[in-house]
């Protein structure tokens, strides 16, 4: 019970007390304090809201002999009835109508001669406030009592009782929200940990290759993915992908995609068969509500050729000698339809010193500001300028240049880069 509520409850002058039966007043006070103690103990035991409402109604009916009662609360823009007995207003529109007549009232109001027919069905309106904020609106009818002072004490007591219960409701709600927030945060952390396990922490050593990657999720968990998979006879497969959407669901979809990719890669499927299987699995898991842009590249160590499929992903850049070739051939993004309408296989030859620069669109759409979006031509120029550096320096210099362009602003999307230099 708040100090303000207690002060208001006890705010009766000595002159007023002298005009009533002091013994009856004291007995009423004692009974009321006992019931408030019972309510407080129930709140401390964390009983349910339904039990608190039931206790309140028993007190009002038995101790105060009230046989008409209505308790309204406002939740955002809606008015909700959480307790009533006796005659009840019928609709939310009626609730709003009566509240519009008394919304500015801060103290109990006699309604017996009120001009509004809905309000005059009750004897008193009792507003319940906490720290200047309205919590609830109480309408009481057929309040039986022997005198004005007894009625005043009963009204103050009702106001105090409802205040205690509604504040308890608010605390329960805040506690549940805090628990839910903590649970969600833990789920995000776990999803982030799972995803970090899926992203290769260290790329495999290969005497014929130089490899480097950067993965910067926008939040704890992201929708980007890359992988590098050794195959037989010195061949290897690599992948870079971006799932639509963010958060836990995107991370779970990408985790499933990675598991499927690794399982299928060991089956010695050709690229066309591989992308068909991946599309079927993603569509089955998401029912067409999510899609993934994917780039798959497969290096043949005996022919020094790369076969690839670009499934709606931003085109990786092959830097070969003085040429810069975007790897664009492929199909549409996967997961949209149960069957891909077309599939084109790309093939390029690589020579010593050639670099394939793979990335996701978080680089060119860094902060979501179209005026500051990096054009593909600008990106090509930046990559070309750094192609003689080590791949780690190439990535570092790119990130520094992008950060400088955006004046140090935080990225609004995941950023992933995977580069391969053929030695």
CATH 2.60.40.420 applies to domain 3-176: no
- Of the given ranges (138-152, 303-317, 407-421), which has the lowest mean pLDDT? 138-152
Pairwise CA distance, residues 285 & 95, whole Å: 46
pLDDT greater than 70 at residue 4 = no
Cβ(125)–Cβ(137) below 8 Å: yes
Cβ(156)–Cβ(11) below 8 Å: yes
Q: Do strands 124-130 and 133-141 pair parallel, antiparallel, or not at all (unpaired)?
A: antiparallel
Give the mean pLDDT of 82-105.
83
Give the mean pLDDT of 322-329.
94
Q: What is the pLDDT of residue 237?
A: 94
Q: What is the pLDDT of residue 12?
A: 52
Q: Do strands 68-75 and 133-141 pair parallel, antiparallel, or not at all (unpaired)?
A: antiparallel
**Cβ of 70: how many Cβ atoms within 10 Å?**
23
Handedness of CA 56, 59, 60, 62 (dihedral sign): positive
Pairwise CA distance, residues 83 & 80, whole Å: 9
Q: How many residues does the chain have?
A: 423
Which position has the token pair 């009423």?
28
Pairwise CA distance, residues 228 & 238, whole Å: 4
**Smallest Cα–Cα separation from 195: which of 275, 250, 266, 264?**
250
List the beta strands (DSSP E) in 286-365. 292-300, 305-311, 317-320, 323-326, 330-331, 346-349, 355-359
Q: Report residue 317's pLDDT band, with 50, 70 and 90 as the boundaries.
A: very high
Q: Which of 164-173, 239-248, 338-347 has the highest mean pLDDT?
A: 338-347
Cβ(272)–Cβ(331) below 8 Å: no
| % of the chain beyond a pLDDT of 90 | 27
Q: pTM for the complete prediction?
A: 0.61
Q: Report residue 107's pLDDT band, with 50, 70 and 90 as the boundaries.
A: confident
Q: What is the pLDDT of residue 366?
A: 57
Q: Which of 247-251, 333-337, 412-416 has the highest mean pLDDT?
A: 333-337
- Of the given ranges (39-48, 130-139, 152-161, 183-192), which has the lowest mean pLDDT? 183-192
Give the mean pLDDT of 98-116.
86
Name residues whose C-beta falls within 8 Å of residue 313's C-beta, 6 or more positions apart in sequence: 240, 241, 242, 293, 294, 295, 333, 360
Give the chain's mean pLDDT.
83
Cβ(104)–Cβ(36) below 8 Å: no
State the fold for domain 199-422: Phosphatase 2c; domain 1 (3.60.40)
Per DSSP, 225 falls in state: E
Q: Higher confidence at residue 3 or residue 209? A: 209
Pairwise CA distance, residues 231 & 130, whole Å: 68
Q: What is the pLDDT of residue 23?
A: 60
Q: What is the pLDDT of residue 147?
A: 63
Q: What is the pLDDT of residue 27?
A: 67
65 phi/psi in degrees, rounded to 5: 55, 45
Cβ(306)–Cβ(325) below 8 Å: no
Q: Report residue 9's pLDDT band, with 50, 70 and 90 as the boundaries.
A: very low
Domain with CATH 3.30.450.40 in the chain: 3-176
**Cβ of 82: how many Cβ atoms within 10 Å?**
17
pLDDT greater than 60 at residue 300 = yes
Domain with CATH 3.60.40.10 in the chain: 199-422
């Amino acid at each position: 019970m708040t100090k303000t509520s207690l002060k208001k409850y006890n705010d009766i002058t000595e002159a007023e007390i002298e005009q009533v039966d002091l013994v009856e007043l004291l007995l009423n006070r004692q009974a009321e304090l006992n019931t408030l103690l019972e309510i407080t103990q129930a709140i401390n035991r964390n009983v349910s809201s339904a039990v608190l409402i039931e206790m309140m109604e028993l007190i009002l009916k038995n101790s105060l002999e009230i046989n008409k009662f209505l308790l309204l609360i406002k939740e955002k823009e809606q008015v909700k009835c959480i307790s009533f007995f006796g005659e009840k207003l019928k609709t939310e529109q009626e609730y709003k109508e009566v509240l519009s007549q008394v919304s500015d009232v801060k103290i109990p109001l006699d309604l017996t001669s009120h001009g509004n027919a809905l309000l005059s069905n009750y004897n008193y309106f009792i507003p319940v406030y906490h720290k200047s904020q309205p919590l609830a609106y109480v309408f009481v009818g057929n309040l039986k009592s022997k005198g004005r002072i007894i009625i005043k004490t009963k009204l103050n007591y009702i106001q105090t009782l409802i205040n205690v219960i509604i504040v308890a409701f608010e605390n329960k709600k805040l506690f549940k929200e805090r628990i839910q927030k903590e649970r969600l945060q833990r789920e995000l952390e776990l999803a982030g940990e799972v995803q970090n396990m899926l992203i290769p922490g260290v790329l495999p050593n290969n005497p014929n290759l130089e490899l480097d990657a950067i993965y910067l999720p926008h939040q704890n968990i992201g929708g980007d993915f890359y992988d590098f998979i050794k195959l037989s006879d010195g061949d290897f497969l690599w992948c870079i992908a971006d799932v639509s959407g963010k958060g836990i669901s995107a991370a779970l979809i990408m985790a499933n995609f990675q598991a499927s990719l690794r399982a299928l890669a060991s089956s010695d499927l050709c690229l066309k068969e591989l992308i068909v299987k991946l599309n079927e699995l993603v569509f089955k898991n998401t029912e067409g509500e999510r899609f993934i842009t994917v780039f798959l590249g497969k290096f043949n160590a005996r022919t020094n050729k790369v076969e690839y499929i670009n499934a709606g992903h931003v085109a990786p850049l092959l830097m070969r000698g003085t040429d810069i070739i975007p790897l664009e051939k492929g199909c549409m993004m996967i997961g949209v339809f149960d069957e891909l309408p077309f599939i084109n296989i790309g093939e390029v030859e690589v020579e010593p010193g050639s670099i394939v620069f793979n990335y996701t669109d978080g680089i060119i759409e860094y902060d979501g500001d179209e005026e500051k979006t990096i054009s593909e031509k600008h990106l090509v120029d930046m990559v070309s300028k750094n192609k003689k550096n080590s791949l780690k320096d190439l990535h570092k210099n790119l990130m520094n240049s992008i950060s400088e362009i955006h004046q140090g602003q935080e990225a609004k999307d995941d950023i992933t880069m995977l580069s391969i230099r053929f030695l």
